[in-house]
Amino acid sequence: MRTTLIRAALGLGLAALTAACAGTAGADADPTPPPSAAASPSLSPSLEAAAPGRAPELKAFTANLPQVPDPWWKVQEAQVSGDHAFLPYTRPGGPDVVFDAEVMAAPAEPSAYRGQTPVATVRLGSYTGYVYPLPSGTYEVRWRVGDLLYRMVGQPSEGQKLSLDQFKTLIGQLAWA
Condensed to tens digits (0 to 9), the pLDDT of residues 22-70 reads: 333 333 333 343 333 333 333 222 234 444 455 556 777 888 899 999 9
CA-CA-CA-CA torsion for 152, 136, 18, 98, nearest 10 degrees?
20
pLDDT-derived band at 166, boundaries 50, 70, 90 = very high
In a domain, 106, yes or no: yes
The per-residue DSSP string of 147-159 comes to: TEEEEEEEEPSTT
Range of the domain at 129: 2-24+47-172
Q: What is the mean pLDDT of residues 130-148?
A: 90
pLDDT of residue 19: 36
In a domain, 34, yes or no: no
Total number of domains constituting the chain: 1
In a domain, 19, yes or no: yes
Whether 170 has a pLDDT exceeding 80, the answer reads yes
pLDDT of residue 73: 94
In a domain, 41, yes or no: no
pLDDT of residue 63: 86
Q: Under DSSP, is residue 131 helix (H, G, I), strand (E, B) or coil?
A: strand
Contact at 8 Å (CB) between 24 and 76? yes
Alpha-carbon distance of 48 to 51, in angstroms, equals: 10
Residue ranges of the alpha helices (H) in 33-172? 58-63, 164-172
In a domain, 42, yes or no: no
Task: Check residues 8 and 42 and name the one with the higher pLDDT.
Answer: 8
Amino acid at 106: A
In a domain, 120, yes or no: yes
Alpha-carbon distance of 76 to 67, in angstroms, equals: 16
Give me the CATH number covering residue 130. 3.40.1000
Q: What is the mean pLDDT of residues 7-19?
A: 37
Task: Classify burial at 152, counting beta carbons within 10 Å of its beta carbon; exposed 0-12, middle 13-18, buried 19 or more.
Answer: buried
Tell me the average pLDDT of the chain. 72
In a domain, 88, yes or no: yes
Q: What is the pTM of this model?
A: 0.68
